[in-house]
Amino acid sequence: MDLGIKGKKAIINGGSAGMGKGSALALAKEGVDLFISARGEKRLLETCEEIEKKTGVIVKSIVADHSSDEGREKILSSCPDPDILVGTCTPPPFTYSYEEVSTEEWRQTLDVSLLSPVEFMKAIIPGMVERKWGRIVNIGTGAAKTPAEVRILSGPPRAALVNYSVAVSKKVAKHNVVINNILPGMHHTASIADRYNKLAEENGTTYDEEIEKFVNNWKIPAKKFGSSDDLGSFVAMFCSEQASYVIGQSLVIDGGIGNTTF
């Protein structure tokens, strides 16, 4: 299926690994030129080179912290008029007691998960409106819809981002600027690999055994973690020409763990 976005330009924040990388690869396969930002240079350069070799599209790496004013300026100066914006980030740590979350941890996660994507949207939407074409996808978390104490640093800021995104989406939809959200559950990502490989080492088990333990404890109906590349395909669909009537939606991709009707 041709998504109608060949030759478009996309900023992918946090795109060097995990769901950001999966999204970047899916867009590159559709012929979208990419501007990928991340804080770590080595992994970012490896990701950009890999995507270029696989797809042949133009991929520019931007080493920057997108949660800072300086980082945002660097990213936007590299691609001041993007057609597509996809935002994600390394998730904050799991929290096992709301009482132990410090004010500084709240500030950090709010900068990354809420204020940064809001500032990016404010910066690029006017140009999209003027050109009568734009697509924005925020990759958040299923915890924004299904709260859990263990994800209390992740869910509330992204719930606020979803609220903001949906409100703005209704104002700009008439200009063919489409804003939607993806709310993932547990997926195989670099941060998940780090976490569960460490647990496996501590417990004398394997990565797969630790994943299976989580799946069983949390009763994930799909009996597995998700694929970042599969999730990226849904991001690409939200960025497509065909998505012009999909406004302010939040798609949960969590293997069925959420207990809501809608």
List the structure tokens of 163.
């609220």
pLDDT by residue (tens digit) across 149-169?
Answer: 988 999 999 999 999 999 999
pLDDT by residue (tens digit) across 176-226?
Answer: 999 999 999 999 998 899 999 999 999 999 999 999 999 999 999 999 999
pLDDT classification of 261: cutoffs 50, 70, 90: confident
Domain definitions of the chain by residue range? 9-186+227-252, 188-224
pLDDT classification of 93: cutoffs 50, 70, 90: confident
CATH number for domain 9-186+227-252, candidates 3.40.50.2020, 3.40.710.10, 3.40.50.720, 1.10.10.10: 3.40.50.720
